[in-house]
Amino acid sequence: MLVHLLRHGEPEGGARHWGETDVALSPNGWEQMRAAVAGRSWDLIVSSPLRRCASFADALARELPARFRCDSDLREMSFGAWEGRSAAELMEMDPEGLRLFWSDPSVHTPPGGESLERLRSRVMSAWQRLVTDPDKRLLIVTHCGPIRLLRAVQSRTPLASLLSIEVPYAALIGIECLPDGSFAPDPLTSTSMHPKESR
């Protein structure tokens, strides 16, 4: 079964650690996502409930048409005290914390934020719920963190290296999974992403 993952486009306010902050897509973000899905169709679209994912996912489902629902386990990880801050702002506020997070996010969690283990637990729970029907064409609309997590599990990349996985705005990624929901072998081939790109 081939499952497609779609990251949201550019949000209003640009690249910041938005996390669970519910910002809308910018006009450019809408265009990026429309270009990514042009000419494609799905039977079921499941989205993060945050507007930068759900607004587009709902509109796309109505146009196709396709079934649509939200799953709160697909939301972005919480950045705690870093929510809404740019990398430049965090370099002023908490340079050591940011350096540690970039070096190993599996150990160093943003202050008051969500751990990668917690992110992994809920994202994988959502995945197992969603990939039970091999006959449906499934699109998951979500964020950089959950997509990186799924790509890391698929490629057996350690969570310590999660920030090396490239997921640009409106990236559409296909993942093959087996009938039991496990990932078909598919080594990670994406190039390294600069860790300053926020989610």
- Please, which pLDDT band fits residue 94 given cuts at 50, 70 and 90? very high
**DSSP class per residue in 110-170:** PTT---HHHHHHHHHHHHHHHSS-TTS-EEEEE-HHHHHHHHHHHHT--GGGGGGS---TT
Mean pLDDT of 82-99: 96
Is the predicted pLDDT of residue 57 greater than 80, yes or no?
yes
Please report, as a single letter, which amino acid is at residue 32: Q
pLDDT for the residue 180:
80
Work out the number of other CB atoms within 10 angstroms of the CB of residue 41.
12
Asked if 78 contacts 143 with a C-beta cutoff of 8 angstroms, the reply is no
Domains within the chain, CATH numbers bracketed: 2-176 (3.40.50.1240)
Residues with catalytic function: 8, 76
Give residue-wise pLDDT tens across range 102-144.
Answer: 999 999 999 999 999 999 999 999 999 999 876 689 999 999 9
Asked if 19 contacts 38 with a C-beta cutoff of 8 angstroms, the reply is no
Is the predicted pLDDT of residue 170 greater than 70, yes or no?
yes
Mean pLDDT of 55-65: 98
**Residues 98-108, buried b or exposed e (16+ Cβ, 10 A)?**
beebeeebbeb
Tokens of 169: 């705005």
